[in-house]
A and B are shown apart, each in its own frame.
Chain A
Amino acid sequence: MALTRATVLLRAAAGGLRGPGRPLWAWDTLRLCSTQAAPKDPPAPPSPYQERPWEYLESEEYRITYGDKPVWLGYRRNHKGAVPPQRTRKACLRKGKPVGNPCPICRDRNLHVDFRNVKLLDQFICPHSGVILHPTHTGVCMKQHKLLASAIAQAQDHGLLWLRVPYVPTPRDDFSNRHPAVGKTPPAPALAPGRHWYPWYEWQPPPAAAVARIRRLYKDYLKEEAAPAVTGTPPDTPPTPCVENKGE
């Protein structure tokens, strides 16, 4: 039902007053009651500095907006009471929509946190102690703070930022590598080419006493052979069953 009774009443009430005298709550009643979807804003074009975010920090636009000051200077969080919560908001984009008063990085669509734009990362590091500034101090949201921390670590890995170089005293161990743990050990005799690690890897002739005992046990079942089975050779591979069947 497009028009309910309530909306009819509203319309009547709003229609009664025309022109600038209309109350504020009656302004959009027509649009409230229509079935067409509300016209959405066109999506914002992608930032031109997506690929090379460090160029934005050299541009005229940046200089006009921020001058020489860091990006977060002058940003004020909105919170209840005198003491701000010790954690800033979780993220500035909730389900794709920006919140009111976004943080210094989210409010400027040309600022991208990347390990290559060292100038932006430097603004979030204390110049005296080399420590990353707390989000309560700069005002960034927690998601951006995590991205900043990981970008700073990546920049240090790539050699673009140098915060703390570890000093390790000169190692003075024995580097001769003579110990068998790290030096050459002569290989075991069983590893020589042509020999097997365990003797039973290759076919071994069974001991004569065992062969004689088995022959004595099964004396009545032994087939008559032209010559007794020579113990020095390994048995031949058994013929495949399908070949035998076909032969028969």
Chain B
Amino acid sequence: MTGLNLQKVFRPVKKELKPPKYKLMTEAQLEEATRKAIEEAKEKLIMPPVLNEREPIDDVLAEDKFLEGTETTKYVFTDLTYSIPHRERFIVVREPNGILRKATWEERDRMIQIFFPKEGRRVIPPVVFKDEHLVTVFQQDRHEDILNMCIAQFEPDSPDYIRVHHRTYDDIEKHAKYDLLRSTRHFGGMVWYLLNKKKTDGLLIDMIHRDLLDDATSLITLYHMLHPECQSANEAKERKLQGVDLIKIFVKTESQREGYIQLALQAYEEAMATSTAS
């Protein structure tokens, strides 16, 4: 459903200016190059993981009351062994009142970024991820960029990552800007979120307007897989419907914006009829 628009995936990014390179290729070489490009694009379009929020860490390892009053600051001890994955790294904090506890997720992320810096990630997250600044971003239609920045900055199970993604998807759904994310790796996440919230009408209308009937049917099949107890799922299973009939059943039973979708379907069918007739 994400769609593979090579022009959009490999669109030019502002980099150092170099004169363009021209290559003379035979048909076979061109096909080979296109095939490689499609493979690379598929790599770039792998959906990032969608996880639940991580549970906060609040384990106390030791209580040494006699250390109280000796220090005025917390001490953070990080295990700097190079070959262990970051999720298995032990990071503990000794508080001024003597308690030795495991570091919280935010402290962990900060410490790991200080000692093992990752490209594109800052120790203190930029201000743009706060809600009031996200509004500015959405006004400039930069949803894909902010989501890429979010993947670079946060871990997939951190509450900030989930909050930014949800806000972006809500804004896209509110303004029906689904095409911004089509052919990017974030489209799958958006579809999953909308399916869970049952707000698929806008997306369905958009797909029908762009004549993507296959995508529309796969969307509804997914809906039935996620919510098997709903009425349209039962009917579809009984009658084993396919294609446009599936959409019609779904529209009748589940959707809120029935009228719009019926209109869109009618327009599509008329367009199909005229194109087949001519």
Contacts and interface: CB of A to CB of B under 8 A. Distances in A.
Interface in A113-136: 128-131
A45 interface: no
B148 A174 contact: no
B151 A177 contact: no
Interface stretch (A144-152, A163-171, A230-238): A163-171
Contacts of A170: 46-49, 151, 185
Nearest to A153: B126
A156 B48 CA distance: 24
* 6 closest residue pairs by CB, A with B: A166-B120, A130-B14, A159-B128, A168-B152, A197-B63, A159-B137
B156 interface: yes
Given A184-B59, A187-B59, A201-B65, A157 B128 contact: yes
B108 interface: yes
Interface of A: 128-131, 156-160, 162-175, 177, 179, 181-182, 184-185, 187-188, 191, 197-198, 201
A168 B85 CA distance: 18
Contacts, number: 106
A164 B145 CA distance: 9
A184 B59 CA distance: 7
A172 B48 CA distance: 8
Contacts of B128: 157-159
B145 A165 contact: yes
Nearest to B57: A182
A197 B89 contact: no
B146 A168 contact: no
A128 B85 contact: no
A186 to B, nearest CB: 9
B116 interface: no
Contact of A159 (B90, B146, B152): B146
B49 A163 contact: no
Interface in B134-165: 134, 136-137, 140, 142, 145-146, 148-149, 151-152, 155-157
B126 A157 contact: yes
Q: Is the interface of A mostly helix, strand, loop or mixed?
A: loop
Contacts of A188: 61-62
A179 B88 contact: yes
Contact of B60 (A156, A157, A173, A191): A191
Given A157-B126, A197-B62, A197-B64, A165 B51 contact: no
Nearest to A165: B145
A182 B108 contact: yes
17 contacts: A129-B16, A131-B16, A156-B126, A157-B126, A159-B134, A160-B136, A165-B145, A166-B149, A168-B119, A168-B120, A171-B151, A172-B49, A174-B85, A175-B49, A177-B55, A181-B89, A191-B63
